[in-house]
Structure formats: structure tokens, C-alpha cells
């Protein structure tokens, strides 16, 4: 944590990524992870649920553990979960010794909500140089949270649709804050003209 705080103190922004769902995780792991992310001075953070990706050791162990009796969703085996529609795809694939899927999802969502609360985001926005930049930081943080937390962790299509609508709404002020003034004097040369000029230079 000391090293991460050093980055923050020197103006280097860090996005931390944390995985929940490891066998060693307990109920207090979530609060401890959130507190660590805050104390380390992370500018952004993402909190994801353990997913066995193809080609990894975790996936091979998980697929082997399923044996021949693999659960299916709409005829698609769970070991090929990426083919299952997102709104019907389970959020947890590897059974956890202490928590079920819904408990893990809710606790993960709660960490997102705490880290990206308005008060917390506004405090971190002090890294921006002026008020306009701080506002942009707040909107980007909220948009990031909506895209990754709400649309990614939501358990049903209604929640996902609401999260997507919020993300679209937040994108509007973000775009305006990052919009630059027109630059009419900046011209993009036609490819043919540019090639002709280059040919003349070579000659």
C-alpha cells in the first residue's frame, strides 16, 4: 500500500483491480478491500467476481471438476458460459465455501457503491487541476461505475436496461466537458494531394 500511495503522491494515477470469490474470501474481505483501495490513494478501482477464463489454470481445474454432468442454460453447457446470453449468464461459476452467488454479488456491488459514492469520488477529484476537470472526473467516475458495476453485475435484464440508460445519460455531460473548441484552420490533406507532395519532395 505504501508503494501505491507513493504513486498517488507523485501525480501518477493508478487503477486498481480486485477479484472477489477466492476460496480465502470471507464476509469481512469486502470492507477490508474497500478500505485498502481508499488508503492506497487509488484514482480508480474495479471489483470483479472470479471468472474462470479459457486458457487459465482456474478454467482447466473448474472444467475438470464439472465432469460429465455439466449444468446447462438453454442447452448451452456452463463450461461454455460465454455463449450464454449475458442477462441469463450466472455471476458465479466456481462454488465458494462460505458464500452463495447472490451473497457474493451483493457484497461486490456494495463495494462498488461505497468506492464510487459521490462524496468519495469528489474527494478523489482533487487530483484534477480545476473545477471543470473535477466535474469531468466525477462524471467519468460515475459512468465507469455504471458500465462496469451495474451492467456487469446486474442479475436481470430490467436492472441491466436501467443501468444502460443511466450510462447513456451520464455520457452526455461527459462528452460536453471533453468537447474542444472548433479548429477550422486545421485541415486534413486529401490522400492524393498528400501523396503528390511527398513525391515532389522525394524528387
CA 189 – CA 191 distance, rounded (Å): 6
Coil/strand/helix, residue 17: strand
Burial profile 175-191: b = 16 or more Cβ within 10 angstroms, e = fewer: eeeeeeeeeeeeeeeee
pTM: 0.72
Q: Per mean pLDDT, which range of 52-56, 184-188, 193-197 is the poorest?
A: 193-197
Q: Which residues contact 106 (CB under 8 A, 6 or more apart)?
A: none
Ordered by start, the domain boundaries in the chain are 1-50+110-115, 54-91, 117-179
Average pLDDT score, the chain:
82
CA distances from 197 to 64, 184, 194 (A): 62, 22, 5
Burial profile 27-41: b = 16 or more Cβ within 10 angstroms, e = fewer: eebbeebbeebeebb
Encode pLDDT of 59-110 as tens digits.
Answer: 998 899 888 888 888 899 999 999 998 778 887 888 888 898 888 888 999 9
- Unique residue bearing C-alpha cell 455471476: 91
Coil/strand/helix, residue 132: helix
Nearest one of 91, 77, 7 to 44, comparing CA atoms = 7
Amino acid at each position: 500500500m505504501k508503494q501505491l500511495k507513493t504513486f498517488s503522491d507523485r501525480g501518477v494515477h493508478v487503477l486498481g483491480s480486485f477479484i472477489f470469490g477466492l476460496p480465502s474470501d470471507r464476509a469481512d474481505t469486502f470492507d477490508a478491500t474497500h478500505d485498502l483501495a481508499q488508503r492506497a490513494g487509488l484514482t480508480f478501482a474495479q471489483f470483479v467476481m472470479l471468472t474462470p477464463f479459457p486458457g487459465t489454470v482456474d478454467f482447466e481445474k473448474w472444467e475438470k471438476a464439472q465432469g460429465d454432468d455439466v449444468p446447462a442454460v438453454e442447452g448451452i453447457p456452463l463450461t461454455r458460459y460465454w455463449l450464454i446470453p449475458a442477462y441469463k449468464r450466472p455471476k458465479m461459476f466456481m462454488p465458494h465455501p462460505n458464500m452463495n452467488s447472490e451473497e457474493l454479488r451483493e457484497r461486490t456491488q456494495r463495494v462498488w457503491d461505497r468506492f464510487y459514492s459521490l462524496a468519495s469520488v469528489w474527494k478523489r477529484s482533487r487530483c484534477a487541476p480545476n473545477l471543470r476537470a473535477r466535474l469531468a472526473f466525477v462524471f467519468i467516475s460515475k459512468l465507469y461505475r455504471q458500465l462496469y458495476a451495474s451492467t456487469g453485475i446486474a442479475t436481470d435484464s430490467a436492472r441491466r436496461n436501467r443501468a444502460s440508460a443511466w450510462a447513456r445519460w451520464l455520457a452526455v455531460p461527459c462528452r460536453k466537458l471533453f468537447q474542444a473548441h472548433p479548429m477550422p484552420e486545421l485541415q486534413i490533406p486529401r490522400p492524393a494531394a498528400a501523396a503528390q507532395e511527398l513525391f515532389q519532395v522525394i524528387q
